[in-house]
Structure 1
Amino acid sequence: MNITSYTDSNRSSLAERYRLGDLQVLELLGSHPAEERSWESRAAYLDDTTDKRAELRRVAEAIQAYHRQLPSCAETEKSLGKLREGALVVVGGQQAGLFGGSLLIYYKALSVIQAARDAERRLSRPVVPVFWIAGEDHDFDEANHVNVQSPGGEARRIRIERPEGPRLAVSRTPLSAEMWSAALQELAAQLPDSEFKPQVLERLQSHVSDAPSLSLAFARLLADWFGKQGLLLLDADDPNLRALEGPMFRELIARSDDLETALKAGEGRVLEQGFKLQAETAPGSANLFLHHEQGRLLLHKDEGRFIDRRGIVSHSREEMLELTDRRPDLLSTNALTRPLMQDYLLPVLATVLGPAEIAYWAILGPSFREFGMKMPIVLPRQSFTYIEPTVAGLLDKYSLTVKQAIEDWETLRAEWLGKQDEWKLDEQFRQVKEQFLVLYEPIMKTVSGLQPGLTRLADGNRDRILEQISYLEARSADAIAKRHDSSLRQWDRIRQSLSPLAKPQERVYGTVHFWNRYGPSWLSLWHDVPFEAIGGHRLVDGLQNV
């Protein structure tokens, strides 16, 4: 296994400056994982504030009830036992993804597990990994797809269309057996054949045989992949957890104006340091949603009432507060209040975040303080590009580094193809065009002098001749390319693997693609990749035993 760092070209981003320990950015996020005292201080704070959070035993019971729907293993039960006994947690979360979603989700769960182990070693006390599935989100299009590389090498998207009707939370969106069957058939058609393909498809079928929601099917697959690592899974929309969140919802509603002021203060701090806001809060936002038969409705404040923009609901503050006792399952956090709820529900030692998440967490310091909380340690998600064995060989063949292949592929491919032109056609055609223009110039002057109207005709005639020369040049270039078609396909293979659709590999291809190609051992071997508490992007090759 070979692991090397990949230097981020955008070293001025808020997330990257935080990762590298920039003191200005640390003021926004409060601590840094590279500092040992951050871990000790956070653990001591959590020990002193147990009574300000939900009862951990009941939280563990809710998570245990949720896990009854998932594949089980002894390691998961051990984690639940630790949690019941007061273990601290490392948390990371994500919207669900069809058939496991993109690789970055796998890497985030891996980061959560490795960070919990690292923290347990640092502090000599139990620390449990928890993955928070954002099943309350209603953006179905973020969850309903996965990309794989087809047998022809192209990135192909498999998706489940959202059922007709209101835009409900993903966990509340019913899917039929027919929908799941069609998605599996499409996946089977697009995945390249391999010795592992039948087992992959069989395992996926076992998770959706009862036509679950996208979130539940996703949780089952993560439990399959990470259960033996002791990863606990929860759905933010789980009614058993909602029943425990009422007191925090009450605070968020009763002090909604204070929260809005704190968020604006946080935005001001970020702007003062010269960063752009990841997402600006809207004036009057309640920063909460309400689950309704017409969909998940974003709430705003208007003259003391909580309303949605479509005019479907209008509740007084008292009515909203009543819901926190009577129907907390109707309430839902947004991206800015979910971190506060997470901290109320669990003893969060650290949270694993991607770059965009770090950017919006940077405004939350005043909000945490407003509610008597301290922000947990922010851990940048570990990021990887996997170099497949065949691609590693092609990089050597064409004397390319991974960085060159990702950042300068088009230029280098064109340069390589140009070097295959033993006839120097570029130069020959350039000379022909120049000589033609020289020879044609006297004719242009002569015919223009004969009759002014011929000038336009001469111009058009010249341009058509140049166009025909260029056409021949293009056909000649195509002929050269066809002579080297096999090599150009290899160049394309490099691009399609390392930077599909001109995007990072981890944001395009699904884990299921590599699971199918290299088998379950490929998934397991990621646990041997050394943990980096400050994250960063790394290149990994030699990660196979096939």
Structure 2
Amino acid sequence: MNVISVPLPGGHTLARDYIKSYESVDHLYGGDFRNVESRRHRMEWLDRMENSRADRIKVAETLLTYNTKHNAHAAVAASIDLLKQAGTLVVTGGQQSGLFTGPLLVIYKAITTILAAKEATESLGRPVVPIFWIAGEDHDWDEVDHTYVLNRTTEISKIRMEDPEGPRSSVSAIDVHQENWTQAVDKLEAMLQDSEFKAQIMEFVRDSSAGTVSMTDAFASLMGSLFGKYGLILLDSADNELRKLEQPFFQALIMENDKLEQAYFHSAADITSSGYELQADVTKGAANLFYIHEGARLLLLKKDGLFTDRKGQVSFSQEELLAILEAHPERFSNNVLTRPLMQDYILPVLTTVLGQGEMSYWAITKQAFETLGGQMPLLLPRMSYTIIEGTLHKHMDKYGLSFIDVLEGLRDKKQQWLNAQDELEIERRFEEAKAAFTALYDPLIEQLGTIQTGLLKLGSSNKDKIVDQISFLQAKARDAMEKQNEAALRQWERIELSLLPLGKLQERVYNVMYYLNRYGPAWIDELAALPPDFSGTHRVIYM
């Protein structure tokens, strides 16, 4: 692998400033992982606050039960044993449980989490373990039910899981029928090219979905297959056993809900007054909690002194809600603004690995942490890559294209290249022919108008038809030119489809299975062996 760093244009302004000039946004965050002093300050604070969090032994035992089912590796058990020890810290990263692990960025986030924990262990001189927080409590099925691969003919292909029946419950609570898993896995197998690794890849894909399982279960199984040997602990945010341990903090979220609402608004005001846009909604009257009612995940609001949902299906006083929490903690769920707080209650989080959008909205939670006596953890931008395969690199060199050229769009450059192949200068000569004909014909039409007024209109119509016929032949000549260069144009298209599919960065679209099928499971090891770069800079990997 040959790796180069490439600055990307655009992105979230707040996250970009966090990455490039942290000092300018320090007032909106709790510290920067890349600063050793920030790490030590956070470590010392976590030591002092040990007794304010959930019991680490019980948390570790709950994680051991979950990982024994889905991620049974000796290295994971060793990480959990370390977590039981006072003083052990955690680096977290997380994502929704996408089909076949979802887009590549999930893989990169896991690798960042693993490498950041390793580096923190070395720099702080104490154990720091990696934990991947699976957002299984989310109910946005449409965001996780599909993935994209480059198929056998190097085209973008979408694989989609059938929508489940029933209420919009959390993804972890939805069992996917075996026949739907079989169809999705068969589609993946049909799309992947034959390779020396295909049988192995398809075996662990099939194993992950054996029996009727949820999307989260299959996701956890695949992530365990890829990263268990690195000691990456998996955590499902919808785990009912974990929810029991979260019950005291849900109580605090309910009792201090009005203060939390004000804290979110104050942080939002700080963000906007600093010149940035909000990346998550801060809504008046929002409780920022979900309630599970008859299988449906309902967002709670505050209205007339009660906690209710938008349609009024449920309605509770604070006392009633607390009583339900005491008896049924599994009925409660966090939203995007309370999940960071809950994560910090459950785990001794040194730092959290985030994408740019996440880094931007996390700023909204700063004062909410402080309202509950907490402190925002350090944030770390996940590592970001684009993979350029060998043949593709040769094509790019052939046409003099850089990665930045692809990002800026290839339409004009492709047309310029095609024009350069036109040795007969067909486009220029056709345009000259139309201009010459018009120059000769227009004066004649005007003179005909002096003979009879109707000839002026007829002549103008006749001229347009002739010009149209010339343009028709010009288009046919252009098509012939493109057909003559069809193989080369397919190479241009392949470059764009591989590096910027659907107009997005490759890591936001394509699934890892294409690359595992092409390069084998050891490809993950090669990525993990690259020197870590926590600067937030995008890196291009030439295979």
- Please report the TM-score for the alignment, with normalisation by the length of structure 2: 0.97
> Does the 8 A contact of 2:257 with 2:287 survive in 1?
yes
For 1:461-480, what aligned pairs fall within 5 Å after superposition?
461-480=462-481
Distance 1:277 1:28, change over 3 A: same
Q: Which amino acid aligns with 1:197?
A: K
Residues in 2 aligned to 1:334 and 1:454: alpha-carbon distance in whole angstroms:
74
The answer on whether the counterparts of 1:381 and 1:536 sit within 8 Å (CA) in structure 2 is: no
Aligned-partner Cα distance in 2 for 1:180–1:48: 47
Mapped partners of 1:43, 1:168: distance in 2: 37
What are the within-5 Å matches in structure 2 for residues 39-50 of structure 1?
A: 39-50=39-50
SS at match of 2:540: strand
Alignment of 1:262-277 (within 5 A): 262-277=263-278
CA distance in 2, matches of 1:20, 1:257: 35
Is the contact between residue 75 and residue 230 of structure 1 (CA under 8 Å) also seen in structure 2? Answer: yes
Contact 1:11 1:17 in 2 (8 A): no
Is 1:77 the counterpart of 2:102 in the alignment?
no
Matches within 5 A, 1:344-383: 344-383=345-384
Match in the other structure for 1:312: 313
The letter of the residue matching 2:419 is G
1:172-251 to structure 2, matched below 5 A, reads 172-251=173-252
CA distance in 1, matches of 2:126, 2:347: 16
- Conserved? CA contact 1:98–1:214, under 8 Å: yes
Distance (Å, rounded) in 2 between the aligned partners of 1:461 and 1:266: 69
Query: How far 1:410 sits from its partner (Å)?
Result: 1.7
1:59 and 2:72 equivalent?
Answer: no
CA shift, 1:297, in A, is 0.5
Cα offset, 1:421, TM superposition: 0.3
SS at the partner of 1:282? coil
User: Counterpart of 2:394 in structure 1: which amino acid?
Assistant: G
| 1:317-337 CA-partner distances (Å, limit 9, x unpaired) | 111111222111100000000
Structure 2 Cα separation of the partners of residues 157 and 328 of structure 1: 38
**1:26 maps to 2:26:** yes
Paired letter, 1:341: M
- Please say if residues 93 and 131 of structure 1, whose CA atoms lie closer than 8 Å, have aligned partners that are also in contact: yes
Deviation (angstroms), 1:452: 4.4
Paired with 2:287 and 2:482, the residues of 1 have a C-alpha distance of 59
Over 3 Å counting, the alpha-carbon distance change for 1:455 and 1:271 in structure 2 is farther
Counterpart position of 1:96: 97
- Show structure 2 runs of 5+ residues with no match: none
Displacement after TM superposition at 1:11 (Å): 6.8
Deviating 4+ runs (over 6 angstroms) = none
Cα RMSD for the two superposed structures:
1.4
Listed as ranges, the gaps of 5+ residues in structure 1 are none
Give the C-alpha shift of residue 205 in structure 1.
Answer: 0.9
Q: 2:5–2:540: 8 Å Cα contact kept in structure 1?
A: yes
Please give the secondary structure, in 2, of the residue aligned with 1:3: strand
SS in 2 for 1:526: helix
Secondary structure of the 1:278 match is coil
Counterpart residue type for residue 54 of structure 2: A
Alignment of structure 1 residues 86-485 onto 2, 5 Å = 86=86, 87-485=88-486
How far residue 224 of structure 1 moved from its aligned partner, in angstroms, is: 0.5
Counterpart of 1:362, as a letter, is: A
**2:100–2:222: 8 Å Cα contact kept in structure 1?**
yes
Letter in 2 for 1:68: T
Would the aligned equivalents of 1:33 and 1:534 in 2 still touch at CA under 8 Å? no
Task: Provide the secondary structure at the position in 1 that maps to 2:341.
Answer: helix
For each residue in 1:354-373, what CA deviation from the matched residue of structure 2 results, as whole angstroms up to 9, or x when unmatched?
01101101121111111111
Cα displacement string for residues 429-488 of structure 1 (whole angstroms, at most 9, x for unaligned residues): 111111121112113323444454554444433333222222211111111111111111
Aligned counterparts of 1:456 and 1:260: Cα–Cα separation in 2 = 72
- The 1-side partners of 2:12 and 2:346 are apart by 34
Distance in 2 between residues matched to 1:28 and 1:455, nearest whole Å: 72
- Note if contact 1:306-1:316 (Cα within 8 Å) is conserved in structure 2: yes
Post-superposition shift, 1:405?
Answer: 2.7
* Structure 1 residues 199-238: Cα deviation after superposition (integer angstroms, max 9, x where no partner): 2111111111122100110011001100010000010000
Deviation at 1:24, TM superposition (A): 2.3
The aligned length equals 542
**Matching residue's letter, 2:76:** T
- Relative to structure 1, is the Cα distance of residues 12 and 244 closer, same or farther in structure 2, using a 3 angstrom cutoff? closer
CA offsets, 1:296-318, max 9 Å, x none?
Answer: 11110011111111221111111
Matched-pair identity in %: 43
> How far apart are the structure 2 equivalents of 1:451 and 1:235?
86
Is the aligned partner of 1:541 residue 2:542? yes
445 and 366 in structure 1: CA distance in 2 versus 1, 3 angstrom threshold: same
What is the one-letter code of the residue matched to 1:70?
A: H
- Cα distance in 1 between the residues matched to 2:105 and 2:172: 21
What is the alpha-carbon distance in structure 2 between the residues aligned to residue 12 and residue 354 of structure 1? 10
Alpha-carbon separation, structure 2, partners of 1:450 and 1:363: 79
Partner secondary structure for residue 535 of structure 1: coil
Contact 2:501 2:509 in 1 (8 A): yes
Q: Matched residues in 1 for 2:445 and 2:369: separation? A: 77
Q: Could you state the TM-score of these two structures normalised by the residue count of structure 1?
A: 0.97
Q: Which amino acid aligns with 1:500?
A: P
